[in-house]
């Protein structure tokens, strides 16, 4: 049986990958491989995350770097707590 990630899990993966590199930020290619998404899916999700204020997009010399915001860190922390509580009840997100 193939298990698919939910949208919440994918957002959590994107924010985690972005947070790992801190203020240095993560480039699009690295984010694609860490999150295991297609470019079109990643673009849509990044647009939503930027619009929600969870990550910032920095453009330099035509290249994009993404940095997690404080709001993004708070979301990630809350998501981790919720996931732990859900798993303690035998639930999956």
CATH number, residue 38: 1.10.10.10
Going from the C-alpha of 46 to that of each of 19, 24, 78, 85, the distances in angstroms are: 14, 17, 20, 27
Residue 51 lies in a domain: yes
Q: Which residues of the chain have pLDDT under 50?
A: none
Domains of the chain: total: 1
pLDDT score for 45: 95
pLDDT score for 18: 93
pLDDT score for 91: 82
Residue 93 lies in a domain: no
pLDDT score for 69: 95
DSSP 8-state secondary structure symbol assigned to residue 54: S
Tell me the pTM: 0.86
- Residues in the chain, overall count: 93
pLDDT score for 92: 75
Structural domain including 78 reads 7-88
Rounded Cα distance, 25 and 31, in Å: 10
Rounded Cα distance, 91 and 71, in Å: 26
């Amino acid at each position: 049986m193939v298990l698919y990630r939910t949208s919440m899990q994918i957002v959590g993966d994107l924010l985690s990958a972005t947070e790992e590199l801190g203020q240095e930020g993560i480039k699009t290619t690295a984010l694609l491989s860490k999150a295991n998404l297609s470019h079109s899916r990643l673009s849509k999700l990044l647009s939503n995350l930027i619009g929600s204020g969870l990550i910032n997009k920095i453009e330099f010399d035509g290249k994009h770097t993404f940095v997690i915001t404080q709001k993004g860190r708070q979301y990630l922390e809350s998501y981790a707590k919720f996931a732990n509580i859900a798993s303690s009840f035998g639930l999956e997100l």
